[in-house]
Structure 1
Amino acid sequence: MELKNGFLLIAVGFCFLIGYSYAEAEVNVCNKHFYIDEHGYRHCDEIDGVAVDDYLSQSFENYQVGHNICFIDFNGPYFDKANPKMVCKPQDGLTKKDGAALYANSLFAQLKESPELEYFFLTYAAAMDDPQANFNLGMVHYNGFFNQPVNKELAFQFMMTSAIEGYPKAMHNIGEMKLVGEGTEKDLMTSFQWYKKAAQFGLVGSQFMVGKMYEMGWGTEQSNQQAFDSYLKAAIQHDGEAMVRMASLINKDKTLGYDSADSIILLYLAKHADNHDALLTFSEFVEQGIIDNHDIVNMDAWLKSTCGYENLGGCVADLQSNQIVRF
């Protein structure tokens, strides 16, 4: 699950940050911080008067409340990757567009291993409603990074803001926090709805959780068919646990239209997806004589000729058209 996987910021990568073409630097460059006014004109900043030599230290160490916030606009006309210049704007002059630039600066600070500066930029990017920044700040306060105390309630607020802004991973985490009541009241119906929203963006974990909630009847009417269909979407994306749940549903609900051969093949595929439960169950079937060596040879040959180990989801998709070759 997203919240339990630790703090993995989305590394857009240094190539993204420096990959844009850039204009030739203007001749009359300010020796001090500068900012762009509402008409697009550049002005030297006389508030702090710090020379533009090392933005990584200037932007944070020389910042004072009420002074201009300095950052590199990687899409701006003054971006020179050989000699990057800063844009400085008054705090109340920042816009939503600046939020994306501030978030990009937080990634740059991460690459430079400057956690204080990274947190600084994340905070201002989130204030400008950047969805990824709000998501990352949610993770910060959920896990207690950047020397911040763990605060699940605050984490939920940042996650909700990001989810409302349309960020799928935040939607998934809202579903998870609502499911167990972390940082917010437990609400299975709301949890289910947020998982469904995230699943529409193709998140495997969300698709699996929608299936599980249908199967268990959590926050929605119980439906093995709906559960199977949602597990199928996750399984096609190589989710071994979803394959195991599909096999289980087939064995207990014959109205789904599949048989024990389909169930065994799903366990076989889940085993190759490195699912521990599938590996144990498949081994037990071999020991009990439910599956013999001849069956395994046939399944191995079918897998090799039909899908291959790198495309297990393609094998699972055959269930939809009932084209799985029986062993």
Structure 2
Amino acid sequence: MKRPVLIDLDEASEMTPATAPMVIDDAPQGAAMQRVASLATRRASPLAKWFWSLLVSIVGFLVSLAAWNFVTGLIASHPILGMAFSALLVIFCCVLLAIALREMSAFHRLRRIDTIQTEAATAHAGGDLPMARKVVGHMTSLYASRDDTAWGRTQLEERAPEVMDADGLLDLAERSLLEPLDARAVAEVQAAARQVAVVTAVVPLALADVFTALTANLRMIRRIAEIYGGRSGTLGSFRLVRTVLGHLVATGAVAVGDDLIHSVAGGGLLSKVSRRFGEGVVNGALTARVGIAAIEVCRPLPFQALKRPSVTGTVQRALTGLFGQA
């Protein structure tokens, strides 16, 4: 007969569901906007620049030579068809010239805004009244054909002679001319932030949020530039985007910072329900930050008399009703 076997049981664990440590999920960081900023600010190597420049030159030379040989051969064999094709080529070249002139005009408008910003900074720093009057004259000329600044221009013309200091004159110009434009620009930022947040939260496709964030930010920055009188062409838009996002990346402003704490907190709460909702809130907040940076870049005058829009307030107004209290 076998003896009973004595099995020592381990001591009862003191760990219970109530005493178990809480698992803390990482707060949403707005991965889509981080990727967009990285793509937009990535600099090509000098070797890559040489490669693409030489490739474009070689291809352009070959295409031009082939077109010339084709046209001369066609004229020799079929004069009427050759002349018709030559006319089409001339029209095509005229269209290319018009596009080039439009791009040059867009760069000129952007440089005009840059000049006003530089002169305004000089006038502010030195209290230079003649320079301030020059800035006001440039701004009045810039918005001379704008109906939405007609009332402001009238008020500025009436009150400007009474102001005898540079800061006061620039503040008057800011309130008179830029206040209605600021409202339109902030509305564009809110629309872009709302679009990015909704697509990030709703669309489950892997790259849909990145594509939406990229296109929405491009469109937002271009419209903001148009609002402030710096309407840009295709090349000018990419230059403007690189300027805005490059500034944000250089200063670390694409990362989550103090002015995004409230939005990230809201995103963290929503991420308990849905990770995509939390990412949507943070991506919308980062889009708002890019938009406000674009306003500062495109605005002829810095924020002095008027209050700079806050990211938190912009996101709250943009996302109200979408995810509850964002």
TM-score in terms of structure 2 length: 0.28
Structure with the bigger percentage of helix: 2
Q: Which has the higher contact order (CA 8 A, sep 6+)?
A: 2
Structure with the bigger percentage of strand: 1
TM-score in terms of structure 1 length: 0.28
